[in-house]
Amino acid sequence: PSSTELESPSLLAEMPVGVKFGTFAHRVIEATDFAADDLDAALVSATELVRQRRRLELGDDAAAVAGFRAALETPLGERVAGNIRLRDLARCERLDELGFELPLVGGDDPSGRLTLEAIAEVLREHLSEEDPMAAYATRLEDPALRASVRGFLTGSIDLVLRLAGQRFAIVDYKTNWLGPAGEPLTLAHYRPESLAAEMSRAHYGLQALLYTVALHRYLRWRLRGYEVERHLAGVLYLFLRGMGGAENPVLDGSPCGVFSWSPPGRLVSALSDVLDRGAPA
Catalytic residue list = 172
Tell me the CB-side half-sphere exposure of residue 230, using CA atoms within 13 A: 9
Residue 93 burial (10 A CB sphere; 0-12, 13-18, 19+): middle
Amino acid in the structure at residue 68: F
Distance CA 216, CA 269 (A): 8
Q: Is 111 exposed, middle or buried (0-12, 13-18, 19+ CB in 10 A)?
A: exposed
CB 59 within 8 A of CB 14: yes
CB 85 within 8 A of CB 42: no
**Cα dihedral value 147, 152, 155, 161, nearest 10:** 100
Closest of 243, 271, 187, 265 to residue 29, by C-alpha: 243
Q: DSSP label at 65?
A: H
**Contact call for residues 204 and 140 (beta carbons, < 8 A):** no
> Under a CB-based contact definition with an 8 Å cutoff, are residues 15 and 60 in contact?
no
187, 188, 190, 195: CA torsion to nearest 10: 170
- Dihedral pair phi/psi, residue 91, rounded to 5°: -55, -35
Alpha carbons 245 and 210: distance in angstroms, whole number: 29
